[in-house]
A and B are shown apart, each in its own frame.
Chain A
């Protein structure tokens, strides 16, 4: 299997799920770098250059809200999923589950 090709297809496949992953993860408040670590630990590898601007855009659309935490030694901007964001995340998650089920059925149920 051509590694470049595999990488490209994986990237394509994951691109649409980054938004969902962020909305789900940020139901617990989190900041930029911490979120990257959380996603990485969950097996969803993302780049900062994708996630940092994305957080701003999701905030602009009212799916996330943010607050600066200046109590610790380093000030950090914490994001939290809004109720609109949670609603959207639930719908998208249901879609992903359906999609996975459909793909399995196309696979003929051979996938264990």
Chain B
């Protein structure tokens, strides 16, 4: 017997349990030899016959999967609904949190704004991949590992049969006029408030000093103003469209980050409030990024931004809740 068959058997038998391997090998070997013999008896060349028989038998890994009953897929149909209901949601929920926390941390490190934004983008992408990878891996292990069989059976037994409660709500909620007016006026009040703060002046050593005369005022104040006006426009568009859609909620999240990240970053790096202005009003520690006022500004902005982003996606579609997929109560022993 030449090497093709030996190599084929080696691959096919690898995954077979020890106590069954020699029996399966003996049987497969005789089946293969039977088939080769018949082709040779019909006048075929021995090497060509062997090749044809093995290729007809197909990928040895697939043959082995037939013997072991081990799945040829990563996550099977029983666990997939749970997988789809959890991992993408955890990833989605962690994106705004990761972006804001990373923004705060990198700006505490005292880098310039380009570094902060670059760090936030690459760090957030990293977080997405990490959670998606480890979350998927956990499900793959649960699906395939022999040691996890008991856990897997328990999880599968808790997955409730599909019921009508899992249907999405009949129609996405309409945006009410009150919600739209609230959103629009919120953005405009914030824009106006910032304009008012910017107009504050105090007589200083070399003339009048504005509250935002530091790096924030010269580079980013108008950017933040434009972002706020854009948010008001977004609320108008959403009202006209009648409901929040994925693109609108995503645009909302980006605009909120464009507003919150510069303010939090400048506050933490001590560059939000001009320090001549602080001297003039007699509060010397006010602009300090490690002082309580600026920490409060950064923390408050982060918190509000996280809420705004979460709210945008929550209004998207009140989907089936995890509780209706997992029957926790039935097994609460």
Do A and B come from the same complex? yes
Q: Does B31 contact A (CB under 8 A)?
A: yes
Q: Does B154 contact A (CB under 8 A)?
A: no
- A48–chain B nearest beta-carbon distance, Å: 5
Known: A33-B35, A47-B56, A57-B69. A52 touches B27 (CB 8 A): yes
Q: Does B318 contact A (CB under 8 A)?
A: no
Q: Does B66 contact A (CB under 8 A)?
A: yes
Q: Does A16 contact B (CB under 8 A)?
A: no
What residues on B are CB-neighbors of A108 within 8 Å?
none
What residues on B are CB-neighbors of A74 within 8 Å?
30, 33-34
In the complex, which residues 3-39 of chain A have their Cβ closer than 8 Å to any Cβ of chain B?
A: 31-34
Q: Once bound together, how far apart are the Cα atoms of A77 and B57, in whole Å?
A: 18
Is B57 within 8 A of A56, CB to CB? no
Q: Does B330 contact A (CB under 8 A)?
A: no
State how many residues of chain A have any CB contact under 8 Å with chain B: 18
Majority SS at the chain A contact face: helix
Question: Which B residue's beta carbon lies closest to that of A35?
Answer: B31
Is A47 within 8 A of B30, CB to CB? no
Sort chain B's interface into a size bin. 10 to 19
In the complex, which residues 279-319 of chain B have their Cβ closer than 8 Å to any Cβ of chain A?
A: none
Q: Once bound together, how far apart are the Cα atoms of A23 and B205, in whole Å?
A: 101
Is A54 within 8 A of B30, CB to CB? no
Is B69 within 8 A of A77, CB to CB? no
Question: Which B residue's beta carbon lies closest to that of A79?
Answer: B27
- A111–chain B nearest beta-carbon distance, Å: 34
Is B33 within 8 A of A32, CB to CB? no
- B57–chain A nearest beta-carbon distance, Å: 5
Q: Once bound together, how far apart are the Cα atoms of A43 and B174, in whole Å?
A: 61
Q: What residues make up the interface of A, taking CB atoms closer than 8 Å to B?
A: 31-34, 47-50, 52-54, 56-57, 68, 74-77
8 pairs of A and B residues whose beta carbons are closest in the complex: A53-B66, A33-B34, A32-B31, A49-B58, A77-B27, A53-B67, A33-B31, A49-B63
